[in-house]
Chain A
Amino acid sequence: MSVQWLIDGAIQGSVLALGAGGVTLTYANLRFGHFAHGELVAAGGYLALATVGLLGGAVPALGAALGPTTVSGALLVGTLVAGAGVAALALLLERFVYRRLRARAAGISAVMASFGVSMALRALLESAFTSSPRYYSEELSIAIERGGVRATPDQLLVAATALALLLAVHLVLGHSRLGRSMRAAAENPALAAVTGIDVGRMAMASWIVVGLLAGVTGVAIGVLGQVRPAMGAELLLPFFTAAVLGGLGSLPGALVGGLLVGLAESWAVATAGSEWRGATAFVIFVAVLGLRPGGLFGRPA
């Protein structure tokens, strides 16, 4: 068997890691499993699509592909728009839905609400854009071959961007005052408030980072595949699995978990067939719960 599946898995895994990073950060700083993360991702995909449509038409120079990739200057702007726009969307959700629910003793009602938000957002996207797939570019990314394995410039760019962004977020949150305050506010809101940390603002800061990650995840999925209302929801199970495998709440865990789930999926597709891709994540999830519920980098449950 060729090692092509390793390359494919690592590329898909880097996208999963980005999504898992958002899920795990929501869990660490906002203390609930966010089932609408897939729709935040899809919203990012569509925001970038709209930007490409507007800018690419208005400024032809921005519509041209950069280097060997199919990614245009307009899409780079679109990625920024997606990150900022989804961060704004997440803040709106926090303000009008989650803020009051997270405060309740039964933390699960925020999970339940996120389930409703997920269905409603996806239905809105479907209503606005229909469920037929859209693409950022009509062009084909031509694969480069080295030593018997192939990867397109698009794939390499996406994987590098995803891993770099995840590492950057980890370093910033891990070593800055802001990151420490965010963690403190999540760990013990009362104590954090006493030391002068504005707990509400820390929650908003967390949502901004989560929104940014989700928006870029949407663009990454769109560049490699299609932009569809279900593009994020379909990956929600691998996102969660990667986050749990890495240890819920750990960004490096999400990175490693994402890569491992991506590799496992790719291996399953290569050996069992593509229709079983979706089941791979669940098998891993079951194994993690059975063998190491705290995940690789997590504290034992």
Chain B
Amino acid sequence: MTIDLAGLLAYAASFGVLAAINVVICLSLELQWGRAGLFNAGVAGFVAVGAYASALLTAEPAAGHLAGPGLPVIAGLAAGSVTAGALSVAVGSLARRLRGDYLAIATFGAAVVLELLLRNLTPLTGGPLGLAFIPRPFAGLADRPLAFALASFAWVGFIALVLYVGIGRLVDGPWGRTLRAVRDDERAAASLGKSPVRFRLEAFALGGALMGLGGALKAHTLGFIAPEHFPPTLTFQVWAMLVLGGAGRRQGAVLGAVLVTALWSATDLLLAFFVPAGAQAQLAPLRIVVVGALLALGLLWRPRGLLAERLRVSRYL
């Protein structure tokens, strides 16, 4: 028996695409939670907004019920980020001081309402069926699975890399330092003239915008989106990624995203190959139990994650 090397490579590349998108989303949550201490219980909603905004703007005018202006994908990615960022500002401003449980409930509620809108505003969102015919970069290669998977991985991976580097510059710079100060000692930061509310809102908005970008990437790699691509379990998976990997450090977010994506894909394969079709419906939810248990265990035994944040006082000390 020969191993299908090309098939294996194509699988690895499409796993890479999935992982890279999750890295983007997890990095955005890392910004909100790890750097600013802001709890977002509605990640899936912000991701969905980015995906739908980008899909609506890039679709061809003639494609199905979608009468989009047919903008280039890059414009869609930008619009998806901006829309999700604006939504974050709106939701963030609700929970005035952006602290604790009110923000958790506000983000949770926003995600519930967004899902409702996606399902019911059928003329705009396609309702439960969602949107199809979303342009995919390198779609011309689609009949050669390996080349297409590699090309997709290349462009999505590139964007993830740019974000990784860019966020690094930002959080290690003055803005990131102030954010850390606000997170760790709000009063001290305020006494130095830094408005905690403003910095938190900025971090929340930027994180939300990047979640939207992650969603847009999802739309342009899948080619179709529906509400079920953005279930509450997505929020929970991203949290598991961040908690396992380690909030407060970008490497942690990346590691967590890759690990949880791998776990998810591996259990998917196990289910598909070793479990009879009849029992799959019963066993599929157990994957969530496994991730949930991992999240709880991680919080209990390694609360700072696999790669814990390095505490810094000052580089001059």
What is the interface of chain A, defined by CB distance below 8 A to chain B?
27, 32-33, 35, 97, 100-101, 104, 106-109, 111-113, 115-117, 119-120, 122-124, 126-127, 130, 236-237, 240-241, 244, 248, 275-276, 278-279, 281-282, 285-286, 289-290, 293, 301
Per the bound structure, the CA–CA distance linking A286 and B283 in Å amounts to 38
Interface centre among B37, B39, B292, by most chain A C-beta atoms within 10 angstroms, is B292
Chain A residue with Cβ nearest B282:
A127
Per the bound structure, the CA–CA distance linking A103 and B233 in Å amounts to 27
Task: Output the least CB separation between B265 and chain A (Å).
Answer: 18
Task: Output the least CB separation between B263 and chain A (Å).
Answer: 14
Identify which of B94, B243, B281 contacts A289 (C-beta below 8 A): B94
Q: Do residues A123 and B116 form an inter-chain contact, with CB atoms below 8 A?
A: no
One of B3-11, B49-57, B100-108 at the interface: B100-108
Interface centre among B119, B120, B289, by most chain A C-beta atoms within 10 angstroms, is B289
CB-CB under 8 A from A237, the residues of chain B are: 105, 108-109, 112
For residues 217 through 266 of chain B, which have their beta carbon under 8 Å from a beta carbon of chain A?
232-233, 235-236, 239-240, 243
Q: Do residues A278 and B113 form an inter-chain contact, with CB atoms below 8 A?
A: yes
Q: Do residues A278 and B288 form an inter-chain contact, with CB atoms below 8 A?
A: no
Per the bound structure, the CA–CA distance linking A104 and B281 in Å amounts to 38
State the 6 A-B residue pairs at the shortest beta-carbon distance, nearest first: A120-B292, A123-B285, A116-B295, A123-B288, A33-B101, A126-B285
Per the bound structure, the CA–CA distance linking A119 and B293 in Å amounts to 10
Q: List 10 A-B contacts (CB under 8 A).
A: A101-B299, A107-B100, A112-B239, A122-B285, A123-B285, A237-B108, A240-B105, A241-B105, A241-B109, A275-B119
Q: Do residues A33 and B300 form an inter-chain contact, with CB atoms below 8 A?
A: no
In the complex, given contacts A108-B39, A115-B295, A127-B286, what are 9 additional A-B residue pairs having Cβ atoms less than 8 angstroms apart?
A109-B303, A113-B296, A124-B285, A127-B289, A237-B112, A240-B108, A281-B109, A293-B96, A293-B102
Per the bound structure, the CA–CA distance linking A263 and B167 in Å amounts to 46
Per the bound structure, the CA–CA distance linking A286 and B91 in Å amounts to 9
Per the bound structure, the CA–CA distance linking A290 and B106 in Å amounts to 12
CB-CB under 8 A from B240, the residues of chain A are: 116
B interface, over-half SS = helix
Q: Do residues B295 and A113 form an inter-chain contact, with CB atoms below 8 A?
A: yes
Chain A residue with Cβ nearest B237:
A119
Q: Do residues A127 and B283 form an inter-chain contact, with CB atoms below 8 A?
A: yes
Q: Do residues B236 and A116 form an inter-chain contact, with CB atoms below 8 A?
A: yes
Interface centre among B108, B109, B239, by most chain A C-beta atoms within 10 angstroms, is B109
Task: Output the least CB separation between A93 and chain B (Å).
Answer: 10
Per the bound structure, the CA–CA distance linking A282 and B288 in Å amounts to 27
Q: B41 at interface (Cβ–Cβ under 8 A)?
A: yes
CB-CB under 8 A from B286, the residues of chain A are: 123-124, 127
Task: Output the least CB separation between A222 and chain B (Å).
Answer: 20
Q: Do residues B282 and A282 form an inter-chain contact, with CB atoms below 8 A?
A: no
Identify which of A119, A127, A130, A301 contacts B292 (C-beta below 8 A): A119
CB-CB under 8 A from B119, the residues of chain A are: 275
Q: Do residues A116 and B104 form an inter-chain contact, with CB atoms below 8 A?
A: no
CB-CB under 8 A from A104, the residues of chain B are: 303
CB-CB under 8 A from A123, the residues of chain B are: 285-289, 292
Q: Do residues B293 and A120 form an inter-chain contact, with CB atoms below 8 A?
A: yes
Q: Mark interface residues in B266-309 (1 if CB within 8 Å of A CB, else 0).
A: 00000000000000011101111101110110011001000000
Identify which of B41, B233, B303 contacts A35 (C-beta below 8 A): B41
Q: B95 at interface (Cβ–Cβ under 8 A)?
A: yes
CB-CB under 8 A from B37, the residues of chain A are: 106, 108
Chain B residue with Cβ nearest A230:
B232
CB-CB under 8 A from A275, the residues of chain B are: 116, 119-120
Per the bound structure, the CA–CA distance linking A94 and B116 in Å amounts to 33
Q: Mark interface residues in B40-83 (1 if CB within 8 Å of A CB, else 0).
A: 01000000000000000000000000000000000000000000
Q: Do residues B296 and A97 form an inter-chain contact, with CB atoms below 8 A?
A: yes
Q: B31 at interface (Cβ–Cβ under 8 A)?
A: no
